[in-house]
Amino acid sequence: MKLKYAIVVAGLMWISLRCLGQQANVNLDYNPQKDTEGLIPFSAPVNSPEVHDDHTVTFRLKAPNAQKVVLPAGAIYTANNLGREPLPFTKGEDGIWTLTIGPLKPDMYAYHFIVDDVQIPDPSNTYAAFTAMPPYSELIVHGDGPAWYDARNVPHGTVTRHVYHSEVTNGERELYIYTPPGYNPKKKYPVLYLLGGSGELPSNWVFDGRVNFIMDNLLVEGKAKPMIIAIPNNQVIHRNHPKHTELTFDIFEKELRNHVIPLVDQAYSTMKSPRGRAISGLSMGGRHSMFVGFRSLDLFASFGILSAGDTNAETSLAQFLNDPKVNEKVDYLFVGQGTEEANGFMGQRCVVLHEALVNHNIEHEYYVGGHGGHDWATWRHLLYYRFLPNLWK
């Protein structure tokens, strides 16, 4: 009887470990917000968000004294055609507000709540983004298994955080480096310098962009070349500074030349030539890649402009556009944006850049795809489906 009891207990323990509950944060699960045990996230008052297998999602907020709770428009709305009007929660007698929406497309979405006109992250969601702007929560709508941006049982690269002193910004700064699985210091690797947008920190390309998992999965699928990915902090002046546009590009170029590239080339086995370097970024990072990268052909030969451009490209990029040897100097130039942002202001900037490149017979790839807008769903899509597979070919 004792042996049978021990077997049953061991079996129940194995089941509980295999069927982890809501936001257990034990494994890097592809479905962390599916409720499998009826447990509430540690230290949270309610279970939120709860993602169901039919791709509907239930949000909950315990706020008995609140008068109004809504889910405002954002990435969830854009990808799932939910319009632009805030969706109201319903208050229960227990003081818990609830909202169920969907089904939603499987993806990762940033979101907030607005409670009595105050914007807050979901206080019961353990998946929150740490950025250079007020924090937000992350909704992870799972599919039938791990997606191409999830951690899979494959060889993984290494992400290292470097902290260094900058004479340019007069302070301590950070830089994240991804090295591919099996990194060999006796080999020379090309380097992609990958930049964030307004309000993004280098870590956002890891936690929101999942670039390390995307690269791991592309490599095991044989769809990309092994490379080092350097993710510097391209916040070099306060984003609300009145002369941000006039100052940021010169400051960031100096930071790249004086600190970032020398650090990477010294610490890693890199190809120290333009042919071995690429620069890419999203939104503001795309503009850094464009305005700094296009005038730094002594440093870079490949470019990825993600959800960025300039409505005055013919003038602002005149030196690059009118360089008679530009097609000899550039290996790969990618311009891409999301399907749902193509008709807005952000998308128009991208279109104008594309048209300027066409008018000057500059070879490039222009792509519009995915179901996202000006958000991480788009930037992950652009990396996986287009930019990284075509880089260094």
pLDDT tens digits along 53-82: 999 999 999 999 999 999 999 999 999 999
Specify if 6 maps to a domain. no
Whether residue 220 has pLDDT greater than 90 = yes
* Domain identity same for 50 and 128: yes
Question: What is the band of 95 on the pLDDT scale with cuts at 50, 70, 90?
Answer: very high
Predicted local distance difference test score (pLDDT) of residue 384: 98
Of 393 and 267, which is predicted with more confidence? 267
- Average pLDDT over the chain reads 93
* Domain identity same for 104 and 244: no
CATH assignment of the domain containing 37: 2.60.40.10
Q: For residue 212, with 0-12 CB atoms within 10 Å meaning exposed, 13-18 middle and 19 or more buried, which class applies?
A: buried
Question: What is the band of 20 on the pLDDT scale with cuts at 50, 70, 90?
Answer: low
Predicted local distance difference test score (pLDDT) of residue 259: 98
Whether residue 18 has pLDDT greater than 60 = no
Question: What is the band of 330 on the pLDDT scale with cuts at 50, 70, 90?
Answer: very high
Of 15 and 124, which is predicted with more confidence? 124
Specify if 65 maps to a domain. yes
* Domain identity same for 116 and 207: no
Tokens of 259: 């600190």
Which of 231, 133, 128, 131 lies closest to 175 in space, CA to CA? Answer: 231
% pLDDT > 70, the chain = 95
Domain with 275, as residue range(s), is 158-390
Residues 6 or more apart whose Cβ sits within 8 Å of residue 391: 190, 192, 224, 225, 227, 278, 302, 304, 332
Specify if 5 maps to a domain. no
Contacts 24+ apart (CB under 8 A), 339-343: 339/368, 339/369, 339/370, 339/371, 339/372, 340/78, 340/79, 340/371, 340/372, 340/373, 340/378, 341/78, 341/307, 341/372, 341/373, 341/374, 341/378, 342/368
| Of the residues 107, 141, 175, the one at which a domain ends | 141
* Domain identity same for 162 and 105: no
* Domain identity same for 112 and 217: no
pTM of the model: 0.93
* Domain identity same for 207 and 234: yes
* Domain identity same for 208 and 108: no
**pLDDT, tens digit, 9 for 90 and up, residues 155-167:** 999 999 999 999 9
Predicted local distance difference test score (pLDDT) of residue 21: 53
Please state the φ and ψ torsions of residue 18, each to the nearest 5 degrees: -75, -30
| Of the residues 109, 141, 173, the one at which a domain ends | 141
Whether residue 8 has pLDDT greater than 50 = no
**pLDDT, tens digit, 9 for 90 and up, residues 250-304:** 999 999 999 999 999 999 999 999 999 999 999 999 999 999 999 999 999 999 9
Whether residue 343 has pLDDT greater than 90 = no
Total count of domains within the chain: 2
Whether residue 317 has pLDDT greater than 80 = yes
Report angle CA 131, 23, 44 to the nearest 5 degrees: 80
Tokens of 322: 């009118």
Of 315 and 130, which is predicted with more confidence? 315
CATH assignment of the domain containing 182: 3.40.50.1820
| Of the residues 81, 109, 141, the one at which a domain ends | 141
